[in-house]
Amino acid sequence: MHGAAESALRRTRDAVEPVLRTAVETLPGRLRSIAAYHLGWEDADGTALGGIGGKLLRPGLVLAAAAAVGGSATDPAVLRSAAAVELAHNFTLLHDDVIDRDQTRRHRPTAWTVFGVENAILAGDAMLALALRLVGGAAASRLAECVIEICDGQYEDCSFEHRDDVTLDECLTMAGKKTGALLGCACALGALAVRADPLAVAALDLFGREIGMAFQLTDDLLGIWGDPAVTGKPVGADLTARKKSLPVVAALSGRSAAAGELARLYALGRDFTEHELRHATDAVERAGGRAWAATEATARITKAHAHLGRASRVELTAMHDLRAIAEMITRRTN
Amino acid sequence: MHGAAESALRRTRDAVEPVLRTAVETLPGRLRSIAAYHLGWEDADGTALGGIGGKLLRPGLVLAAAAAVGGSATDPAVLRSAAAVELAHNFTLLHDDVIDRDQTRRHRPTAWTVFGVENAILAGDAMLALALRLVGGAAASRLAECVIEICDGQYEDCSFEHRDDVTLDECLTMAGKKTGALLGCACALGALAVRADPLAVAALDLFGREIGMAFQLTDDLLGIWGDPAVTGKPVGADLTARKKSLPVVAALSGRSAAAGELARLYALGRDFTEHELRHATDAVERAGGRAWAATEATARITKAHAHLGRASRVELTAMHDLRAIAEMITRRTN
């Protein structure tokens, strides 16, 4: 299955990257350079780089959703939606890096560290406007609605940093907005672009939201137990930063001794020692956070498949890529 | 004439504010609060305020442009465009205040000083998405294009702060993007909303851009010679901040003794004394900056009227509000 997903994403890159590049080329001078740097196409001095960038998971969902409802994945409206979703995703990354003061993204210095906070904000604004300019009509309205939901999720995420009574339900709701919404929107836009009926669009939206939750749960597991050589993040980065990721909040919400140990470690007002970091990692696991997150991710994929069953009257073969991408999400290692 | 413009803007407020409020009410919880605070509708603790907010100049242009091409200013598409333009304008203000670290706007603490930089960025993002969601089709695409142009203008404005060889032409081009573009877009959207022909849309766009330049020139004059009791800004705020506003750059680009004095004062690496501030103000005037800006503003209004003549085949009476707003722009005192 994993190979099928990779092949779908490779086909996505071949089809969508030219549309994405043509769109970004329309941005004025320096804003174009910042976007091209952020997308991994150029170095800070404008030298072309051999397309590192992201996995194009969201454009992949747009194309696969269009195919799943019987449309063509090479329809220009589908490709424009796919490029718009990727632009909207990268607008959120640019602003989130500013907001979270993150120094590194995809193994490179973040755009704001290179071009300044002001210019990273402006380049993000321009990428959002560009995304909404690329698609018209119902799709633009749907994508704009999704962006508002993402902003709400990021707002909640920031506010959680200042609270120590965040519940697991609040975290799941926040992740649904911050991550799930755009994966749902990607699927919905793919279906909308080929004029699928509203029920199919809604079912695909729900499918995308569920795999979005599985994606976030997997991301959070990799943030604690991922192989640094593969993820590009230092060991235990999320725990070191005292991130209230889903496995951590699940662990803290239990009443075991391990939950108490984890709470005490999180309350330490200083960097962890190597021993404390191992202890915290172990405590999340003993308090059930790891098992809960893995089980929840699998349950979300199962729910996603159920939505898919109601999404379409076309043969299951057309759903192949969507299913493959869903399966890949919990099995990935970076 | 001034009275006619005020009456047009009062009618604009009555017609557009309900649409604007309904739109902002759809924003999620806290992002809605930040938008409502920024728009002058609420205090920081959510207490309703008696509609202070801006002049609604841009929505006024949308309505007047629709009427000028023979459409109805109360057409729902016109009102949505008017609300969208005001939301887009306020999105730029929210982000500009973050970028410029401005502490005060419309006599109140700026949103970022009250809600934090992160949340002001997110509320701005959500307002931009909301603006583009409100209008559909060609209007959304036109507004998105304008937002990209504004970002480019703001980018240039920031970059000018770090240079001491900025030319008057560069400043005029920047002001055209940062201020002129949205006034042009407002006129174009009004005409688009009532399905005016493309030539009329283009002529109204040019009309709006020219009065936008007159608006900026007048703003810059008020930033130096405005009455603090009326403008709400301290005396000589723009000179104190060493702003490279249009009258200053025009003054500096001359070869008179006064230009040299102004250049030396601007190069001082400390706050002006009261005497130096008076000296700098006087030097801008003696170097011709004040007269140039006033003449240029009048010339822009004349150009604007010429575009208006080519905009429409309808009777001149329908253009009354557009002409009145144009005249008001150079005569205002705040």
Q: Return the pLDDT at B316.
A: 63
A158 to chain B, closest Cα gap in Å: 8
Give me the residue spans of the domains in chain A: 2-331
| Residue B320 three-state SS | helix
Q: Return the pLDDT at B233.
A: 77
State the pLDDT confidence band at A310, using cuts at 50, 70 and 90: confident
B184 to chain A, closest Cα gap in Å: 17
Instruction: Summarize the confidence of residues A19-37 as an average pLDDT.
Output: 96
Cα torsion B69, B75, B80, B86: sign: positive
- Per residue in A21-55, is it b (16+ CB within 10 Å) or e — as a string? eebbeebbebbbbbbbbbbbbbeeeeeeeeeebbe
Provide, as residue numbers in chain A, all residues whose Cβ is less than 8 Å from the Cβ of B149. 28
Amino acid at B162: H
pLDDT over 70, % of chain A: 97
Cα torsion A282, A286, A289, A291: sign: positive
State the pLDDT confidence band at A316, using cuts at 50, 70 and 90: low
Check A27 against B148: CB less than 8 A apart. yes
Q: What is the mean pLDDT of chain B?
A: 93
A47 Rama class: left (phi>0) / alpha (psi -120 to 50) / beta: beta
State the pLDDT confidence band at B331, using cuts at 50, 70 and 90: confident
A40 Rama class: left (phi>0) / alpha (psi -120 to 50) / beta: left
Instruction: Give Cα A18 to chain centroid, integer Å.
Output: 22
Query: Best-predicted range by mean pLDDT among A98-102, A115-119, B163-167?
Result: A115-119
Give the nearest chain B residue to A98 (CA atoms): B118
How many other CB atoms are there within 10 angstroms of residue A305's CB atom?
A: 17
Q: Return the pLDDT at A2.
A: 59
More confident of the two residues A233 and A261: A261
Give the nearest chain B residue to A122 (CA atoms): B151
Look-up of token digits 């998971």? A57
For residue B211, pLDDT beyond 60: yes
For residue B96, pLDDT beyond 70: yes
State the pLDDT confidence band at A331, using cuts at 50, 70 and 90: confident
B154 to chain A, closest Cα gap in Å: 8
Instruction: Summarize the confidence of residues B18-45 as an average pLDDT.
Output: 96
R_g of chain B computed on alpha carbons: 20
For residue B315, pLDDT beyond 60: no
Report the alpha-carbon distance of residue A95 to residue B118 in Å, rounded: 9
Q: Return the pLDDT at A10.
A: 92
Instruction: Summarize the confidence of residues B26-30 as an average pLDDT.
Output: 95
The half-sphere exposure of B226 on its side-chain side, counting CA atoms within 13 A, is: 24
Q: Return the pLDDT at B167.
A: 95
ipTM: 0.92
The half-sphere exposure of B254 on its side-chain side, counting CA atoms within 13 A, is: 22
CA angle B94, A99, A290 (to 5 degrees): 140
Cα torsion A283, A287, A291, A297: sign: negative
A32 to chain B, closest Cα gap in Å: 10
Residues in chain A: 334
Instruction: Summarize the confidence of residues A62-72 as an average pLDDT.
Output: 94
Instruction: Summarize the confidence of residues A152-175 as an average pLDDT.
Output: 94
B152 to chain A, closest Cα gap in Å: 6
For residue A112, pLDDT beyond 80: yes
Q: Return the pLDDT at B1.
A: 44
How many other CB atoms are there within 10 angstroms of residue A157's CB atom?
A: 20
Give the nearest chain B residue to A32 (CA atoms): B152
pLDDT over 90, % of chain A: 81
- B contact set with A (CB within 8 A): 27-31, 91, 95, 98-99, 117-119, 121-126, 128-130, 132-133, 136-137, 140-141, 144-145, 147-149, 151-152, 154-155, 158-159
State the pLDDT confidence band at B301, using cuts at 50, 70 and 90: very high
B51 Rama class: left (phi>0) / alpha (psi -120 to 50) / beta: left
Instruction: Give Cα B246 to chain centroid, integer Å.
Output: 15
Tens digit of each residue's pLDDT (9 = 90 or more) over A276-293:
999 999 999 999 999 999
Report the alpha-carbon distance of residue B229 to residue A59 in Å, rounded: 54
Nearest to B118 among A31, A99, A122 (CB): A99
Provide, as residue numbers in chain A, all residues whose Cβ is less than 8 Å from the Cβ of B141. 133, 136
The pair of structure tokens assigned to B319 is: 């253009």
For residue B231, pLDDT beyond 90: no
For residue B8, pLDDT beyond 60: yes
For residue A62, pLDDT beyond 90: yes
Dihedral (C-alpha) A264, A267, A268, A271: value to the nearest 10 degrees?
120
State the pLDDT confidence band at B143, using cuts at 50, 70 and 90: very high
Please state which of the ranges A154-158, B180-184, B237-241 shows the lowest mean pLDDT.
B237-241
Q: Return the pLDDT at B137.
A: 85
Instruction: Summarize the confidence of residues A178-197 as an average pLDDT.
Output: 96
Provide, as residue numbers in chain B, all residues whose Cβ is less than 8 Å from the Cβ of A28. 148-149, 152, 155
The half-sphere exposure of B153 on its side-chain side, counting CA atoms within 13 A, is: 20
Look-up of token digits 């380049």? A123
Give the nearest chain B residue to A133 (CA atoms): B141
Domain spanning A2-331: CATH superfamily: Farnesyl Diphosphate Synthase (1.10.600.10)
Nearest to A125 among B118, B151, B158 (CB): B151
Give the nearest chain B residue to A126 (CA atoms): B148
State the pLDDT confidence band at A164, using cuts at 50, 70 and 90: confident
Check A148 against B158: CB less than 8 A apart. no
A144 to chain B, closest Cα gap in Å: 5
For residue A20, pLDDT beyond 90: yes
Q: Return the pLDDT at B260.
A: 96
Q: Return the pLDDT at B181.
A: 98
How many other CB atoms are there within 10 angstroms of residue B104's CB atom?
A: 14
Tens digit of each residue's pLDDT (9 = 90 or more) over A201-233:
999 999 999 999 999 999 999 999 998 888 777
Nearest to B151 among A126, A137, A152 (CB): A126
Q: Return the pLDDT at B280.
A: 97
Q: What is the mean pLDDT of chain A?
A: 93
Give the nearest chain B residue to A154 (CA atoms): B122
Q: Return the pLDDT at B317.
A: 67
For residue A1, pLDDT beyond 60: no
Instruction: Give Cα A130 to chain centroid, integer Å.
Output: 20
Mutation choice for B interface testing from A148, A158, A182, A192 by most B CBs within 10 A:
A148
